[in-house]
Amino acid sequence: MKIAVIGAGLIGTSWAIVFARAGFSVNLTDIDQSRLAAAQEHLARVFHSAGDENAGNLAYCPMSLEAVSGVDLVQECGPEDVALKQCIFAELDRHAPEGAILASSSSSIVASLFTRDLAGRHRCLVAHPLNPPHLAPLVELCGAPWTSPEVIERARDVYDRAGQAPIVINREIEGFVLNRLQAALLAEALRLVGDGVVSAGDLDRTVSEGLGLRWSFLGPFATIELNAPGGIDDYLHRYGSAFRNITAAPPPSDVWEKENIERVVESWGKTRSPEQLAARSAWRDRRLEALRRHKQSQDDSQMKE
Ligand SMILES: NC(=O)c1ccc[n+]([C@@H]2O[C@H](COP(=O)([O-])OP(=O)(O)OC[C@H]3O[C@@H](n4cnc5c(N)ncnc54)[C@H](O)[C@@H]3O)[C@@H](O)[C@H]2O)c1
């Protein structure tokens, strides 16, 4: 399997780790040669410190034309800008091999906005990862109305083989699925803290010491299936009306306004320097790596389904 990763920023560099450690050949490219050189240095360090010899699967290409030669899939990781994605995809569609899948990492721009006029638009889709993809396996696959179902299936197979966890979104929707779930939770959290119901620290602990423990290996449906003796139906029968009452008045849009944000930031009460935030990000990545290894060691495919 051969992959081109276009854009050697935060996400492209992490995708390069995913594909290279799976044993795929990876061509990494960036329009900015200094970014490409920095990525090369970073990746050499990452593979060396992990004692992983798969660094040999990585090639660094100054030109995207050279990067896409002979590839099975292109993972586009350029900036989140629709005009730029249109240019990059037009170039990829012209130069990538006919059978190659063209996937964008876009967090919020649906594929129909940058592939409409392409001859090869049937082979384009969004493959949206969580940051950083080498530590969080989820990837959301979402085609445009004209993306071929066969391409989606082939993409799912590539990400599966790379050790990721692809899901398929059946039609284009703003925020895809992950960010819609995150937005719903964040809006309620902003309301509860902004209204003084709970402190920002205690709200966070509700997830880190409560809900999140189950969520690291069960989704919301698998969770409620176990919270009533008769499964999901039974649970929703018993508790559905309580949840219906709670959700009858959704968080108002002003939870996102300046005044409410100020209340939440005051409740959070911590101001961290960029250096402290970088150190915390590194800590988060170490914890994610440990969790990833733990989950792999506990993998019990019979119980998973
Ligand atoms: N950062 C996140 O948390 C996150 C999460 C999921 C998805 N994404 C998506 O991934 C994509 C990349 O985000 P990022 O955070 O890595 O951005 P980034 O700014 O770190 O990296 C973008 C890179 O693309 C390069 N680039 C610009 N034009 C190019 C071109 N024509 N050809 C090749 N390279 C080019 C830039 O030089 C830069 O190195 C975006 O679409 C973003 O929405 C980001």
Per-residue pLDDT tens over the stretch 21-34: 999 999 999 999 99
Confidence (pLDDT) at 302: 64
What's the pLDDT tens digit per position in 208-241? 999 999 999 999 999 999 999 999 999 999 999 9
Question: Once rounded to an integer, what is the mean pLDDT over residues 241-250?
Answer: 96
Residue with CA nearest ligand 1 atom 32: 31
Q: What are the CA-CA distances from residue 25 to residues 16, 53, 72, 74, 275 (Å)?
A: 9, 13, 10, 12, 34
> Ligand 1 centre from 124 Cα, in Å?
17
Closest CA to 264 of 203, 208, 212: 203
**Residue 69 scores a pLDDT above 80:** yes
Confidence (pLDDT) at 185: 98
* b/e sequence 169-197, b meaning 16+ C-beta within 10 Å: beebeebbebbeeeeeeebbbbbbbbeee
If pLDDT is split at 50, 70 and 90, which confidence band does 299 have? confident
**Residue 269 scores a pLDDT above 70:** yes
If pLDDT is split at 50, 70 and 90, which confidence band does 300 have? confident
If pLDDT is split at 50, 70 and 90, which confidence band does 160 have? very high
Atom of ligand 1 nearest to the CA of 12: 16
Question: Once rounded to an integer, what is the mean pLDDT over residues 173-197?
Answer: 97
pTM of the model: 0.94
Count Cβ atoms within 10 A of the Cβ of residue 36 and give its class: 0-12 exposed, 13-18 middle, 19 or more buried.
buried
> Would the CB of 137 count as within 6 Å of ligand 1?
no
> Would the CB of 31 count as within 6 Å of ligand 1?
yes
Q: Over pLDDT 90: what percentage of the chain?
A: 96
pLDDT higher at 145 or 64: 145
Question: Once rounded to an integer, what is the mean pLDDT over residues 177-200?
Answer: 98
**Residue 304 scores a pLDDT above 90:** no
How far apart CA 4 and CA 70 sit, in angstroms, is: 9
> Ligand 1 centre from 11 Cα, in Å?
6
Question: Once rounded to an integer, what is the mean pLDDT over residues 6-15?
Answer: 97
Confidence (pLDDT) at 64: 86
> Would the CB of 140 count as within 6 Å of ligand 1?
no
> Would the CB of 1 count as within 6 Å of ligand 1?
no
How many CB atoms sit inside 10 A of residue 228's CB? 15
- What ranges in the chain are assigned the alpha helix state H? 10-21, 33-49, 64-67, 82-95, 112-115, 149-161, 178-194, 200-206, 212-215, 220-225, 231-247, 258-268, 274-298, 301-304
Question: Once rounded to an integer, what is the mean pLDDT over residues 2-17?
Answer: 98
How far apart CA 155 and CA 298 sit, in angstroms, is: 26
How far apart CA 89 and CA 123 sit, in angstroms, is: 11
**Residue 179 scores a pLDDT above 70:** yes
Residue 266's SS3 state is helix
> Would the CB of 62 count as within 6 Å of ligand 1?
no
> Would the CB of 13 count as within 6 Å of ligand 1?
no
Q: 9: which 2 tokens? A: 């920023």
Amino acid at 128: H
Average pLDDT in the chain: 96
Confidence (pLDDT) at 220: 97
141 in Cβ contact with 129 (< 8 Å)? no
> Would the CB of 16 count as within 6 Å of ligand 1?
no
Closest CA to 98 of 80, 117, 123, 115: 123
Question: Once rounded to an integer, what is the mean pLDDT over residues 180-187?
Answer: 97
How far apart CA 219 and CA 217 sit, in angstroms, is: 7
Confidence (pLDDT) at 303: 74
How many CB atoms sit inside 10 A of residue 161's CB? 13
Q: 112: which 2 tokens? A: 């129909």
**Residue 145 scores a pLDDT above 90:** yes
Residue with CA nearest ligand 1 atom 18: 9
Confidence (pLDDT) at 301: 65
Question: Once rounded to an integer, what is the mean pLDDT over residues 90-104?
Answer: 97
